Chains A and B, each alone.
Chain A
């Protein structure tokens, strides 16, 4: 019973996040909402596995937890460097000075 209440609460939280994703004035709000919905989906999928009696389906939640932040990194590089190809390593000290 409580698990069903938990799932209902999580769905409400996701709905509120979707409102932020749709309304969000700047793009960063949308990325934030997308990332937060991703984490909530991980929990929702794990809970659905428990609610409907197949807790063995945690692999889907596991893969989501792993891959969720890749899109956020791509968006970060899109906004900051306007390219997906540049390495995020520290520029060597010399080049840093006159960079």
Chain B
């Protein structure tokens, strides 16, 4: 039971965690919803930095992209549609929850005493299953990024389930908010002339770069930090930025909501299709070693990826690439159609339509 190294890493970890605690207490205490949303934005920034300290590069990537891009905008969209009044709170209501929370917290902290020391390399979690994956992944799959290899290949079926959950969320939000009269996207009349030249020019420069970066993240997912989930969210952020700058009308012309929903479905179909091809070729469902029949495998030039004499697992490489593409399509189109749902809905028109 080695005690943790008390080095710069641990000091950073303690500092960032204390910041997180301060922000969380501020979120509890604040009475205005908007302040809570802004604090949650800051919270996700600090969590991303903390994840980098914890050597979790892929998770930091995801938290960064999701926290900075999607969750603030979705919460803002919800506040817009519910006219975020300030929360009215009387303290008598808070006494019972406070006691309950303290009791549950005390029990949990008492139980946490039995957990292995922080950063202990010999802890059960780190010494058995974790090590086996670290040792065998490069041999089986040949992808340097163990996290993507496990996510896409060893645990491919689970990730298919998660992609389907994201597709279900897309259908759910689209059904609830996606239909009905859309907000009129006439350009807003500015009292003091046009202030947004700076924004338009910078966004016009950055949107293609964001999309290009999303593709970079997607295709080097198994070499460095990256993968389908992160790439999908980055792609969605590019579309959302376009919608915020050039108006929802323009963006819905370019990315029609119907097409977005079908692309979300197509991502899951692509993912399952790769599994079925492996099944047809005699392997198990989603077993990428059987993705290519021997004749096809012979046609792939050995030097395609890296030095030719190393044993290559072409099926694994391309299998991971295809299903990450499926995940990219589903995640990107889901986030975009969620944004369409929240940004496009208008309560006045619906009230008028319902006559209530």
* Residue from B49, B68, B194 within 8 A of A48 (CB atoms): B49
A73 and B8 contact, Cβ closer than 8 Å, known pairs A60-B225, A87-B187: no
**CB <8 Å contact, B69 and A70:** yes
Residues of chain A lying within 8 A (CB to CB) of residue B185: 85-87
Q: Does A63 contact B (CB under 8 A)?
A: yes
**CB <8 Å contact, A59 and B225:** yes
Binds A, one of B171-179, B233-241, B289-297: B233-241
**CB <8 Å contact, B26 and A22:** yes
**Chain B 312-353 near chain A by CB (<8 Å), digits 1 or 0:** 000000000000000000000000000100111000000000
* Residue from A14, A74, A99 within 8 A of B46 (CB atoms): A14
**CB <8 Å contact, A11 and B55:** no
Kindly state the separation between the CA atoms of A22 and B49 in the bound complex, as whole angstroms: 19
Q: Does B283 contact A (CB under 8 A)?
A: no
**CB <8 Å contact, B42 and A48:** no
* Residue from A18, A87, A90 within 8 A of B23 (CB atoms): A18
**Chain A 22-48 near chain B by CB (<8 Å), digits 1 or 0:** 100001001101100110010011001
**CB <8 Å contact, B188 and A14:** no
Kindly state the separation between the CA atoms of A84 and B81 in the bound complex, as whole angstroms: 11
* Residue from A33, A49, A70, A88 within 8 A of B200 (CB atoms): A88
Tell me the A78-99 residues at the B interface (CB within 8 Å): 78, 81-92, 95-96, 99
Residues of chain A lying within 8 A (CB to CB) of residue B244: 70, 73-74, 77, 84, 88
**CB <8 Å contact, A30 and B39:** yes
A41 and B49 contact, Cβ closer than 8 Å, known pairs A57-B225, A68-B68: yes
Residues of chain B lying within 8 A (CB to CB) of residue A63: 61, 64-65, 213, 217, 230, 234
Q: Which chain A residue has the least Cβ–Cβ distance from B250?
A: A87
Residues of chain B lying within 8 A (CB to CB) of residue A66: 206, 209-210, 213, 234
Tell me the A47-63 residues at the B interface (CB within 8 Å): 48-49, 51-52, 54, 56-57, 59-60, 62-63
Kindly state the separation between the CA atoms of A15 and B15 in the bound complex, as whole angstroms: 9
Kindly state the separation between the CA atoms of A62 and B230 in the bound complex, as whole angstroms: 13
Interface SS, B side = helix
* Residue from A45, A74, A90, A96 within 8 A of B76 (CB atoms): A74
Tell me the B192-217 residues at the A interface (CB within 8 Å): 193-194, 196, 199-200, 206, 209-210, 213, 217
Chain B: number of interface residues, binned into ranges? 35 or more
**CB <8 Å contact, A4 and B61:** no
* Residue from B22, B189, B206 within 8 A of A91 (CB atoms): B189
Residues of chain A lying within 8 A (CB to CB) of residue B19: 14-15, 18
**CB <8 Å contact, A21 and B234:** no
**CB <8 Å contact, B210 and A67:** yes
How far, in Å, is A70 (CB) from chain B's closest CB? 5
**CB <8 Å contact, B245 and A88:** yes
How far, in Å, is A2 (CB) from chain B's closest CB? 12
A18 and B42 contact, Cβ closer than 8 Å, known pairs A48-B49, A60-B57: yes
* Residue from B32, B38, B49, B52 within 8 A of A34 (CB atoms): B38
Q: Does B135 contact A (CB under 8 A)?
A: no
Residues of chain A lying within 8 A (CB to CB) of residue B266: none
How far, in Å, is A77 (CB) from chain B's closest CB? 6
Residues of chain B lying within 8 A (CB to CB) of residue A70: 68-69, 73, 237, 240-241, 244
**CB <8 Å contact, B60 and A60:** yes
* Residue from B57, B60, B199 within 8 A of A73 (CB atoms): B199
Residues of chain A lying within 8 A (CB to CB) of residue B247: 85-89
5 pairs, CB–CB < 8 Å, chain A vs chain B: A21-B42, A31-B38, A44-B52, A71-B69, A87-B245
Enumerate the 8 nearest inter-chain pairs by beta-carbon distance, A residue then B residue, closest first.
Answer: A87-B247, A99-B189, A90-B194, A85-B248, A88-B196, A84-B343, A22-B26, A30-B38
